[in-house]
């Protein structure tokens, strides 16, 4: 269907000015879009030539997605959004290295994006690879070791909490990633403390298509001194 006149399109912030959504409104947009996707009634907003032209000169995405690179976790599809809506940063296992942090900081401070979402999913291969590596004491080949190393702290946290099923570990890794973003990016933490941004962790179910919120740091939350 055409995006023209679709409610999702009408609610999209104008691209020629600063975003008009606050963190709660941005989260509501993602929840609504995911609900449309889950129920098989997507609008496919902002995916036509008109939108392409409208955002060619400037972007004001309303959410940053720090997601796993898994091919089944395409952000614009599962949240039923289009061009210019989401600023997506994906690595296997949603890691938080310097390029990821810099990308998040760019979106939040330069583009004024009011919401950061960490998006993980059940049966995550990166989490499973890290689990296998720890269990066997083996080091993965090539740069895969960097992915495993990034997930290991979450495995330790899960172990301490007595959680040993893969999807329980995934949820802990999502929450750990939310904490890592804020701990390692004073820029992001300051934006959250100032009330301009929120950070939410979501876990996606591959078969059902739905997201579940597993962690939240609301706008206005000040970080405890390290």
Q: Tell me how far apart the terminal alpha carbons of the chain are, to the nearest angstrom.
A: 51
- Describe the chain by its helix, strand, coil percentages, rounded to 5: 45, 15, 40
Minimum gap (Å) between residue 70 Cβ and Zn ion: 4
C-alpha distances out from residue 107 to 100, 122, 141, 190, 208, Å: 11, 27, 33, 14, 30
In the complex with Zn ion, the residue whose CB is nearer, 21 or 158, is: 158
Minimum gap (Å) between residue 205 Cβ and Zn ion: 13
Bridge partner residues of 118 (DSSP): 66, 201
Minimum gap (Å) between residue 23 Cβ and Zn ion: 25
Minimum gap (Å) between residue 125 Cβ and Zn ion: 5
**Parallel, antiparallel, or unpaired for β 115-121 and 63-68?**
parallel
In the complex with Zn ion, the residue whose CB is nearer, 111 or 166, is: 166
Please check if 164 is assigned to a binding site. Answer: no
In the complex with Zn ion, the residue whose CB is nearer, 151 or 192, is: 151
Q: Which residues are at the interface with Zn ion (CB under 5 A)?
A: 68, 70, 124, 126
Handedness of CA 126, 128, 131, 137 (dihedral sign): negative
Please check if 122 is assigned to a binding site. Answer: no
In the complex with Zn ion, the residue whose CB is nearer, 33 or 93, is: 93
Please check if 60 is assigned to a binding site. Answer: no
| Feature table: binding site for Zn(2+) | 68, 70, 121, 124
| Feature table: binding site | 68, 70, 121, 124
């Amino acid at each position: 269907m055409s995006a023209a006149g679709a409610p999702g399109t009408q609610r999209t912030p104008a691209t020629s000015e600063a975003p008009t959504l606050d963190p709660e409104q941005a989260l509501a947009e993602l929840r609504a879009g995911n609900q449309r996707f889950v129920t098989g009634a997507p609008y496919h907003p902002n995916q036509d030539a008109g939108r392409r032209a409208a955002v060619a000169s400037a972007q004001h995405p309303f959410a940053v997605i720090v997601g796993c690179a898994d091919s089944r976790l395409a952000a614009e599809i599962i949240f039923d959004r289009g061009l210019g809506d989401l600023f997506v940063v994906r690595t296997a296992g949603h890691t938080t290295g310097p390029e990821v942090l810099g990308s998040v900081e760019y979106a939040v401070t330069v583009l004024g994006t009011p919401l950061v979402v960490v998006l993980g999913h059940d049966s995550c291969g990166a989490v499973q690879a890290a689990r296998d590596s720890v269990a066997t004491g083996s080091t993965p080949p090539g740069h895969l070791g960097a992915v495993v190393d990034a997930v290991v702290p979450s495995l330790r946290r899960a172990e301490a909490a007595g959680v040993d099923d893969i999807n329980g570990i995934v949820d802990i890794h999502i929450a750990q990633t939310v904490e890592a973003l804020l701990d390692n990016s004073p820029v992001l933490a300051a934006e959250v403390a100032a009330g301009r941004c929120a950070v939410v962790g979501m876990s996606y179910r591959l078969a059902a298509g739905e997201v579940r919120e597993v962690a939240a740091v609301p706008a206005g939350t000040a970080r405890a001194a390290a």
